[in-house]
Amino acid sequence: MISPARRAAYEVLLRVFEQDAYADRAFRSAAAGLDERERAFAQRLVYGPVQRVRTLDHAIETLGQRPMRKLDPPVRAALRLGAYQLGYADTAPHAAVNESVELVRSAGLERAVPFTNAVLRRLADGLRPLLDSLPDGPLKESYPDWIHDTFVRVLGEEGALALMRAMNEPLETVVRLVRGEPPPGAEPTDVPGAYRVERVDEKLVAEGRIWPQSRGSQLAGLCVGAEEGERVLDLCAAPGGKTGQLRGEVTAVEIEPARARELRENLATMARGDVRVVEADGTALPEELDGFDRALVDAPCSGLGVLAQRPDLRWRAAPLPELQLALLRSAAERVRPGGTVVYSVCTLNPDECEAVVDESGLRVQPLGEEWPAFAHPWRPEFLLTLPHVHGTSGFFVARLARG
């Protein structure tokens, strides 16, 4: 008999690897009927194989002696699911092998059952020794070479390895206190308003009392420094976590209608009906959006700082420096002389961080003395949160002045 958690995980892996579905979205629908314990196990069985797929495929091909591309999709998904449990989870080997074989059988591929069973039994004996023998680097930690190379540019080989390892494990769970008292057992952190919790209480989220948001993300919102009475522009605002932090008369811009709808819903949950949401292209803003005191540009990016939370992003990520620079300049044009623009991205790629700011021509307002624990290691006028150092998502933050 196949456990509900493994069945759900298998179905999600098929959708992710064969239909290019997003892991988090596919998982939400597949896990709808699971209890809390099954859901947590199923999520690990989805996120783990998606993160580790480069390493898993190498091991399966090495020990199975057949290219993954030549296997039927259900066999690929079952082997990845079983291999992850054998290599990285505390699952009993017989359960990992037997249920993965049954998944292939249930897919109507009886002819592939003996092969699947033979490969999984070889993996049960040889996978962990094979993993231990791999040299430290992107194959062992399951990252594209270009991401590893980017991390080496920023942190050197040892720092890159520590960062890759950190983002293969769950980071802390943090919420922002929106109103009222902190959740029971919540632990204050070094970012005001940010509390570390064992798990997110969805009831408190629905009541608008807390919002799931990493310390790195909250830090970016705090750096805006918006005050009551000021006019504030927020570009690329969805899903709205940082928008909800901003004080004053806030205009939030989002180009995609579906994301704008999500933004409105989230702001309503946070009781921020005072925020004006405008559906527009951030690089070509309507003329009436002008004369702001402050702006936040939380730009689209490669997301290399949030790979722990988004398991398939490492296989989809791409740098976006041209778009980021266009958004930053667009926002700066709509801020009054002497106003400030905060530029933030959830990546550690210098081409999307320091290089964009340097090319913008805007004057830097140093942040390192204000937030010394998060000062950029080599450019202390900026902030850089590092998952392996700070335990939170990776964010680059700069505060800039016009004129």
Which whole number is the average pLDDT over 296-302? 97
Q: Which of 223, 236, 301, 346 is catalytic?
A: 346
What's residue 107's pLDDT?
87
Q: Is 346 a catalytic residue?
A: yes
Contact 233, 292 (CB under 8 A): yes
- In this predicted structure, the answer to whether residue 266 has a pLDDT above a threshold of 80 is yes
Give the amino acid at 13: L
When pLDDT is averaged across residues 175-197 and rounded to a whole number, the result is: 96
- In whole angstroms, what is the distance from residue 169 CA to residue 51 CA? 10
Q: Is the separation of the CB atoms in 151 and 91 below 8 Å?
A: no
Closest CA to 381 of 372, 393, 390, 391: 372
What distance in Å separates the CA atoms of residue 381 and residue 143, rounded to the nearest whole number? 30
Per-residue pLDDT band at 315 (split at 50, 70, 90): very high
What would the mean pLDDT of 290-312 be, rounded to a whole number? 96
Over its C-alpha atoms, the chain yields an Rg (Å, rounded) of 23
Pairwise CA distance, residues 329 & 102, whole Å: 56
Q: Is the pLDDT of residue 173 over 70?
A: yes
Average pLDDT, the chain: 95
Q: Give the pLDDT mean for 339-345.
A: 97
- What is the model's pLDDT at position 36? 84
Q: Which of 160, 191, 164 is nearest to 175 (CA)?
A: 191
Helices (H) then strands (E): counts for the chain:
15, 12
Angle at 174 between CA 350 and CA 266, to 5 degrees: 90
| Rounded-to-10 torsion of CA 331, 347, 212, 46 | 140
Residue 403 has pLDDT above 70, yes or no: no
What percent of the chain clears pLDDT 70, i.e. is strictly above it?
A: 100
Q: Describe the crossing of helices 113-133 and 53-64 by its angle, rounded to 10 degrees.
A: 110
Residues 82-120 pLDDT 10s? 999 999 988 888 888 898 999 999 989 999 999 999 999
Residue-level length of the chain: 403
- In this predicted structure, what is the pLDDT of residue 33? 83
Tens of pLDDT along 217-236? 999 999 999 999 999 999 99
pLDDT tens digits, residue range 369-394? 999 999 999 999 999 999 999 999 99
pTM of the shown model? 0.93
Q: Are 278 and 253 in contact (CB under 8 A)?
A: yes
Residue 120's pLDDT is: 95
Q: What is the pLDDT of residue 88?
A: 94
Share of the chain above pLDDT 90, in %: 89
